[in-house]
A and B are shown apart, each in its own frame.
Chain A
Amino acid sequence: MNARPAIESRTDAGGCTEVPVLRERGQREVFCGLTSIIWMHRKIQDAFFLIVGSRTCAHLMQSAAGVMIFAEPRFGTAVIEERDLAGLADANDELDRVVDELLARRPDIKLLFLVGSCPSEVIKLDLSRAAQRLSRKHYPGVRVLSYSGSGIETTFTQGEDACLAAMVPTLPQAAADAPPSLLVVGSLADVVEDQFRRVFDALGVGPVHFFPPRRAQALPPVGPNTRMLLAQPWLADTARLLEDRGARRLVAPMPIGVEGTTAWLHAAADAFGVPAARLDAVTAAARDRAMQALARHRERLAGKSIFFFPDSQLEIPLARFLARELGMRLGEVGTPFLHRAHLAAELDLLPRDVRLSEGQHVDRQLDRCRAERPDLVVCGLGLANPLEAEGLATKWSIELVFTPIQGYEQAADLAELFVRPLARRQKLVA
């Protein structure tokens, strides 16, 4: 990357790419990969996610999804029962029966994911073979794919990575001599996607494809002239598989905050030979608007300290945004998994004294958090109320995954999510 002073890479100067990371092992207060189905099933509107798991998996999904928000959700659980384990029923026959039942009920489904869980992995139920078998049976109406969202292999957002990785082999091959195209990888809210598409159009960058697509059959092509821009930090396997198919990853921070969004767009502009002046001109209005909106929130957040418990892998981009654009002081920044290569541009932008931690031992991390007494704690739903009761202000991390936060127009909304808990505490007097 080159160009703009604000986003110049500091790797050569040391940056914090080499900053030591506290790696912890112990109880993790995080969701498993199944939970990412909550947004994936809204994103791909004709896909169904069938978890092959236990009652616990089903209970997790309805608890995490906030008890029944969708009348008839496009996800469900094939609950493994005693007779499946005892071998009385052939699990594969049972699965075929459940899938038949489901597809008969939901003729609108075009893509079915069999999603592996902890129990299905432990009993070694081969879902990829089941998916091939069922795909043959239900082709061409329905394509059946499989991936694992199990807690023994995946943490929360890694479920999206596994899901997209399962889709990569089904993407059409782009011709070797096709003109360069841009592939934006990672689920974004539709409104954000539309905003980015307008910017790319104005820049003359294109053709642009988003992955995952909104409909199962609108699969983007991939080939040696595909330039890939990651919109989310949790796509390790997906990116690797796309690279195997020839796509070239553009190095950029995540499109979070004004700075991140500009750098992210800049990476695309650069790859498509768009001059910096053009990018400036196209984005100037949105950038100004966003910076003005941020200024208000900066007054309330500057100088305040923040502590991140690990959750979605968004922690590092968020910390970078809060430190650089809102003047917050970073305490510990915990992340479930640190992908140094994908986050290189982010790590470069972090303050040098940042304390990163990877993995979790929740009791020890709580001890550190209590000792530090940050002004704001970013944590999961299991920890938020207990920490509030101890007098610490919290921001639920899951909201950061379920809210459109990327891009210029959302930068202030994102900042506001951090302002709200602090502002609320000031208002309440009783």
Chain B
Amino acid sequence: MQLTLWTYEGPPHVGAMRVATGMRGVHYVLHAPQGDTYADLLFTMIERRDQRPPVTYTTFQARDLGGDTADLFKAAAAEAYERHRPEALLVGASCTAELIQDDPGGLARSLGLPVPVVALELPSYQRKENWGAAETFFQLVRACAGPHAPPPGTPRRERAAGQRPRCNLLGPTALGFRHRDDIREVTGLLARLGIDVHVVAPMGARPSDLATLGEADFNVVLYPEIAHSAASWLTRTFGQPSTKTVPIGVSATREFIHEVAALAGVDPAAVLADEGARSVWYSRSVDSTYLTDKRVFVFGDATHAIAAARFAAEELGFKVVGIGTYSREFARDVREAAARHGVEALITDDYLAVEAKVAELQPELVLGTQMERHVAKRLGIPCAVISAPVHVQDYPARYAPQMGFEGANVLFDTFVHPLMMGLEEHLIGMFREDFEFHGDAAPSHLGHAAAARPAPEPAAVAPTPVAAAAANTAASGPTLVWSADAEQELKKIPFFVRGKARRNTERYALERGVTTITLEALYDAKAHFGR
């Protein structure tokens, strides 16, 4: 058993729902008790979808458990087919139904429905949401495209002369982070390269579209967490190559353009000559100097975390002080990325471990999920959301892709906006005692938060004992005391670096066996750690 307060990913059947809800012409019959319908509101409320997810829940109750839950499933599946007439029926079990072992696949097939029935085996007690989405997509692709597979070993037919190259975009689902806008951005980019998009899937595709996936020349894997297994199967079965680069950030987008241009046999020069990425110049403009070496902590799904860290480091000049993911399936990729940034990866789905890490590192910016947004808020650190899990504000009304050149522009704004602006930061450094413009003030462009300075402390501040280790853990060890003048001086340091200063000073003192932190010790530590 694992104690969980908040969770990064839902159960695997929610991943299946993301695929089914993104598609058209699919219905999912989920063997599940009352209450599991909560998942509908993720789609109707968070993503503001205007239709119910295409899911029928069998809603069994305790009194059904003795005998007829299987009949209940068959009745629900038959009725769902009659009512919705899908082109393909997905069937599966939620965590509770998995325990009663009714075999939804066998039961649904026994109904003799005239459409493909795809039975999903999603082990709820081992796997999670993204895995469930990937498995569901893979099973659907295999069921729909499989019958059209050429005999093994058949060489891929050359594209007819004069025919434009075509690719599939794989991975976007319902409830994804900016999937809606990424599709548009990448489709536009490919169009400028002279490449047509054959099928986008799962988002917007019908089972009949999946049946034709093999007709495209190659596959673009937008979100490896969801599309990797399906794309690998398409490579094996149809000989379709697939892309490896996720086009998030200007550099990655350029690499992506080279990669698809090579796959499609087109010339990328014209597109590369006219990128339209303002972020490149913005980052080089002198105003951005203050962004140099901003310490940033990154956490999210593997794809977005790796991309955000790269963009932050290479295109904004930040310093990545930590990176992590909850996607254990992609831990290796994140570890490799961490090594490139010279840090150790945090692979965990325990948000308390992430919180402890952020508290320990005291970064100047957190790039994370809705969980990290909350953690950062508690710790008083600016934050931008870069990955699912999402909340309603992660579905902006405006066009806000993460991918392509426009995506890079969005990232520039998203990462820079939460920070104190350059000149503002300097002024606070100079006039720390200013009554309006003090270190506890929020960035001036972020509204009314923390407008008034707290009442001045009494002149004689009692020495504050602190636990030796990280501020919020009650570790045993020698007790450190801050002298009153050092404590006062610490308050003059702007809030967004104060935590780091406190931590560094205490570490410095501990390492030297100093038990009382004086003004001198504070400045000794500052000199020691100064960057």
B-binding residues in A (CB < 8 A) = 26-35, 52, 54-56, 58-60, 62-64, 67-68, 71-73, 75-82, 84-85, 89, 91, 94-95, 97-98, 101-102, 118-119, 121-123, 150-153, 155, 363, 380-386, 388-389
Q: List 19 A-B contacts (CB under 8 A).
A: A28-B34, A30-B34, A55-B124, A58-B6, A59-B9, A60-B35, A68-B370, A78-B3, A79-B3, A79-B4, A95-B1, A98-B2, A101-B3, A151-B96, A153-B61, A381-B45, A383-B52, A386-B51, A388-B50
- The residues of A that contact B124 with a CB separation of less than 8 Å are 54-56
- Asked if A382 meets B37 with Cβ closer than 8 Å, knowing A26-B59, A58-B4, A72-B5, the reply is yes
A78–B14 alpha-carbon span in the complex (Å) = 19
B203 touches A (CB below 8 Å)? no
B95 at interface, CB cutoff 8 A: yes
Q: Which of B50, B62, B76, B95 contacts A54 (CB 8 A)?
A: B95
A213 → B minimal CB distance (Å): 25
Binary interface encoding of chain B residues 46-83 relative to chain A, with 1 for a CB under 8 A from any of its CBs, else 0: 00111110001111111001000000000010010001
Instruction: Enumerate the 9 nearest inter-chain pairs by beta-carbon distance, A residue then B residue, closest first.
Output: A32-B35, A151-B35, A382-B40, A389-B50, A118-B96, A381-B41, A54-B95, A59-B10, A151-B33
Asked if B281 CB lies within 8 Å of chain A CBs, one says no
> In the complex, are the beta carbons of B125 and A54 less than 8 A apart?
yes
Contact indicator A383/B389 (Cβ below 8 Å): no
Contact between A56 and B36, CB atoms less than 8 A apart:
yes
Q: A215 vs B2: C-alpha distance in the bound complex, in angstroms?
A: 28
CB pair B39 A71 closer than 8 Å: no
A79 to B36, Cβ gap below 8 A? no
B479 within 8 A of A: no
A123 to B99, Cβ gap below 8 A? yes
Residue from B3, B13, B95 within 8 A of A76 (CB atoms): B3
Cβ-neighbour of A55 out of B11, B49, B79, B83 (below 8 A)? B11
Closest to B391 in A: A67
The complex places the Cα of A56 from the Cα of B98 at a distance, in Å, of: 12
Q: Which of B3, B13, B37, B41 contacts A27, CB < 8 Å?
A: B37
Q: Is the CB of A32 within 8 A of B33?
A: yes
Contact present for A68 and B6 (CB under 8 Å): yes
Q: Which residues of B contact A (CB under 8 A)?
A: 1-7, 9-11, 13-14, 33-42, 44-45, 48-52, 56-62, 65, 76, 79, 83, 94-96, 99-100, 123-126, 128, 370-371, 374, 378, 389, 391
Selected contact of A152 from candidates B1, B34, B38, CB within 8 Å: B34
Q: Across the two chains, which residue of chain A brings its CB closest to B371? A: A68
How far, in Å, is B423 (CB) from chain A's closest CB?
33
Are B35 and A63 touching (Cβ within 8 A)?
Answer: no
Contact B38 A31 (CB under 8 A): yes
Given pairs A55-B7, A80-B125, 10 additional interface contacts (CB within 8 A): A26-B59, A54-B125, A56-B36, A76-B5, A82-B123, A85-B125, A98-B3, A122-B96, A155-B34, A386-B49
B11 and A59 within 8 A (CB): yes
| Contact residues in B for A97 (Cβ distance below 8 Å) | 1
A27-B2 contact given A59-B14, A63-B42, A118-B33, CB 8 Å threshold: no
Residue among A68, A79, A121 with max Cβ neighbours from chain B (10 Å): A68
Q: How far is the CA of A67 from the CA of B58 in the complex (A)?
A: 26
B307 to chain A, nearest CB (A): 23
Closest to B63 in A: A152
* Of B2, B34, B51, B125, the contact of A151 (CB 8 Å cutoff): B34
Q: Is the pair B41, A63 in contact by a Cβ cutoff of 8 Å?
A: yes
Does B51 contact A389, Cβ atoms closer than 8 Å? yes
Q: How far is the CA of A89 from the CA of B61 in the complex (A)?
A: 28
CB distance from B81 to the nearest CB of A (A): 13
B463 nearest CB across to chain A (Å): 26
**Which residue of chain A lies nearest to B43 when distances are taken between CB atoms in the complex?**
A382
What's the least CB distance linking A80 to chain B, in Å? 6
Please determine whether A386 and B2 come into contact, CB atoms closer than 8 angstroms. no
Contact A385 B370 (CB under 8 A): no
CA distance A80 to B38 in the complex (A): 20
Residues of B with C-beta under 8 A to A29:
37, 40
Complex Cα spacing A80 to B125, Å: 7
**Interface residue from B3, B7, B50, B65 paired with A386 (Cβ < 8 Å):** B50
Q: Is there contact, CB below 8 Å, between A56 and B370? A: no
Q: In the complex the two chains form, is B4's CB within 8 Å of A28's CB?
A: no
Q: How far is the CA of A119 from the CA of B79 in the complex (A)?
A: 26
How many angstroms between the C-alpha atoms of A31 and B38 in the bound complex?
6
Given contacts A63-B38, A67-B370, contact A82 B33 (CB under 8 A): no
> Nearest B residue to A102 by beta-carbon distance?
B3
Q: Which residues of chain B have C-beta atoms less than 8 A from A151's C-beta? A: 33-36, 96
Which chain A residues border B58 with CB–CB below 8 Å? Answer: 27
Contact between A27 and B57, CB atoms less than 8 A apart:
yes
Bound state CA distance, A55 and B40, in angstroms?
A: 16
Complex-state Cα separation, A319 to B1, whole angstroms: 44
CA separation between A27 and B30, bound complex, in Å?
11
Q: B174 → chain A, closest Cβ, in Å?
A: 13
Residues of B within 8 A of A95 (CB): 1
CA distance A170 to B96 in the complex (A): 31
B7 adjacent to A58 (CB under 8 Å): yes
**Chain A residues with CB below 8 A from B391, complex form:** 67
Measured in the bound complex, the distance between the Cα atoms of B49 and A155 in whole Å is 25
Give the CA-CA distance A73 to B51 in the complex, in Å. Answer: 32
- Which of A76, A94, A122 sits near B99, CB closer than 8 Å? A122
Collect the chain B residues with CB atoms within 8 Å of residue A389's CB. Answer: 50-51
Q: How far is the CA of A77 from the CA of B3 in the complex (A)?
A: 6
Tell me if A152 and B62 are in contact (CB < 8 A).
Answer: yes
CB distance from A78 to the nearest CB of B (A): 5
A78 engages B96 (CB within 8 Å): no
Which listed residue (B1, B39, B76, B378) contacts A63, Cβ 8 A?
B39
Specify which of B33, B52, B99, B389 lies most central, judged by the most chain A CB atoms within 10 Å of its CB.
B33
B41: chain A residues within 8 A (beta carbon): 63-64, 380-382
- Name A93's closest neighbour in chain B (CB-CB): B1
Q: What residues on B are CB-neighbors of A68 within 8 Å?
A: 6, 370-371, 374
